[in-house]
Structure 1
């Protein structure tokens, strides 16, 4: 876990420019009496609420104003909520953050999470059932693929990008592609037999959406027979992707932005229970991030956009 002083120092450069802004005539709490924390739907609504509600409660105490959690119906809702100024702080995936930046949303990335393998990032994978005949991408020609959301990194943008680089166009390869709406729903489509493969995120052998769903008893065959992570096989794995950031509106008052940064820096030790809830206790700490860290993701989206326009 990063030392608090190290993390504060790493973020200080990006915040130094805030000191140049004119002093506000009134305390920021009079202009921002309430804050909304938005979260993309990696899990179903209940799971996402359970995961992020302790963070909202912690931020309420740390910032001194109510922080309300908003679980978005889709990734675009978080982007548009920040564009409209209705979501002051948001948790993004890297692609949804990149899309926000590319479409003019003014946001400052703060930190992302360091996982149990020591990396502040993850991979996109395509799962199939281990009892299926599919062992390679080529085996899935003409079959059905469950994606997550158009703005999901591991659930759409990364598989399209990396499969294209290896000579496979997703829409041409698969007979049908559908957006399931969340990572959990994509896995459920695979377990229920409505999809032959599912795109998803993968941190490590012990930390993925599949392992989390197994821990919650959500993995079952259509007849109700329980499934375990070993009942799934990975047939595609992307290059390393930076973990999505927590980000705040650039337009927030300077003093409030400083307090938000300080709150996230302190989170792993100030409220370990809230921090651990974000990852079921698997994350090691937080890593400072800047817009530059997501430039490769921006380039990935530009490539995918260009490919889509050609088709």
Structure 2
């Protein structure tokens, strides 16, 4: 009996020693779980950057009023600016200088691959129909690229582009390079090897005008880009025409830096959706990029872009 009593006291003592350790371990686990749910970057000032789909200074003037609207939604200061090109904004987000980027599809894919940036939203636009890019009443989450030429140029098909001069955007531009170049290659014309000279311009409006002014023979632009220059060139629809329209391209994204926490991701997404529904906010996003509204997005929506990127690599082989 005496040995059994000592044994009981020993077991009880060990249990009392172990109890604080167990509780400490539980407390640590609970604390870790709690912190992980709110882990990540919480902005004190939100920096938002656009890529130039048109003249950069004009675009910035149009986009600046978003600062006040976003500040009202988010409760923190907001700075809006325009990047010089697609690569610059990707690098700025990767180096944590920019929190939110209006990224076209290919730039988003690059940002996700290099820095794990996260797509929140895709733009919705009214669909367009040829020949004069008339707007339909259907909201769509895709757009297309076109190859434009002057109507009096004699260029009627992709094969006629051999030996010509083409205005293009940055090589990470989906509509301004990737899609038209890949679909040209699929039809037997390599933009890098068939005597074609490319001229990089900043903004799809500049691509349209380069053709209109006979500075280039053709231009890669998003469908609807001619509408941007109607005020400066009222006869643009009759003088500059598409000879080719590509397959569907996923619409532009609103993307955030990869370390932004889930709470702020939701706040940013909700803010842009809300702004798009206001009269002033809708006017801004419509004038900047032709956006009508925003819908939730996910990374797999852009797998088609990754397929085109692989095909684009064949241009240099």
TM range (shorter): 0.7 to 0.9
Q: CA deviation at 1:214?
A: 0.8
- SS of the residue corresponding to residue 115 of structure 2 reads coil
User: Match of 2:193, SS?
Assistant: helix
3-state DSSP of counterpart to 1:236: strand
Q: 1:174 to 1:113 in 2, by over 3 A?
A: farther
User: CA offsets per residue over residues 101-134 of structure 1, 9 Å max, x none?
Assistant: 23x2221111122112221111111100112211
Conservation of the 8 A alpha-carbon contact between 1:156 and 1:199: yes
Question: Which deviations, in whole Å up to 9, do the C-alpha atoms of 1:133-156 show, x marking residues without a partner?
Answer: 111112222111111111111110
Deviation track 1:22-45 (CA, whole Å, cap 9, x = no partner) reads 25599x7xx622111011111111
SS of residue in 2 equivalent to 1:171: coil
Q: CA RMSD in A?
A: 2.2
1:191 to 205, 212, 216: 212
Residue 99 of structure 1 contacts residue 298 of structure 1 at CA under 8 Å; is this kept in 2? Answer: no
The list of structure 1 runs, each at least 4 consecutive aligned residues, that deviate by more than 6 angstroms after superposition, is: none
Instruction: Tell me if 1:115 matches 2:125.
Output: yes
Cα deviation, 1:205-227, whole Å, max 9, x if unaligned, reads xxx12112113x2x3xxxxxx53
Matched residue, 1:13? none
Deviation at 1:21, TM superposition (A): 5.5
Match of 1:22 among 11, 36, 55: 36
Asked whether the equivalents of residues 71 and 78 of structure 2 are also in contact (C-alpha less than 8 Å), the reply is yes
Partners of 1:21 and 1:296 in 2: CA distance: 36
Deviation track 1:65-99 (CA, whole Å, cap 9, x = no partner) reads 11111211111111001110111001011111112
Sort the Cα spacing of 1:132 and 1:96 in 2 relative to 1 into closer, same or farther, 3 A: same
Q: What TM-score does the superposition give when structure 1 sets the normalisation length?
A: 0.81
Find the aligned partners of 1:32 and 1:239 in 2 and give their Cα distance: 38
CA distance in 2, matches of 1:306, 1:98: 18
Q: How does 1:7-86 map to 2 (within 5 A)?
A: 22=36, 24=38, 32-86=43-97
Q: Which has the larger radius of gyration?
A: 2
Gaps of 5+ in 2: 1-32, 128-138
Query: Is the 1:146–1:197 Cα contact (8 Å) retained in structure 2?
Result: yes
Structure 1 residue corresponding to 2:185, chosen from 164, 185, 201: 164
Distance in 2, matches of 1:136 and 1:302, equals 25
Equivalent positions of 1:223-262 (< 5 A) are 227-262=235-270
Tell whether 2:275 aligns with 1:275.
no
Instruction: Quote the residue 2:115 is aligned against.
Output: 105
Secondary structure of 2:72's counterpart equals helix
Q: Do the aligned residues in 2 keep the contact of 1:210 with 1:229 (CA within 8 Å)?
A: yes
CA distance in 1, matches of 2:188, 2:37: 55
Q: Structure 2 vs 1, CA of residues 272 and 161 (structure 1 numbering), >3 Å: closer, same or farther? A: same
The runs of 5 or more residues in structure 1 that have no matched partner are: 1-18, 203-207, 220-225
Cα distance change, pair 48–286 in 1 and its aligned pair in 2 (3 A)? same
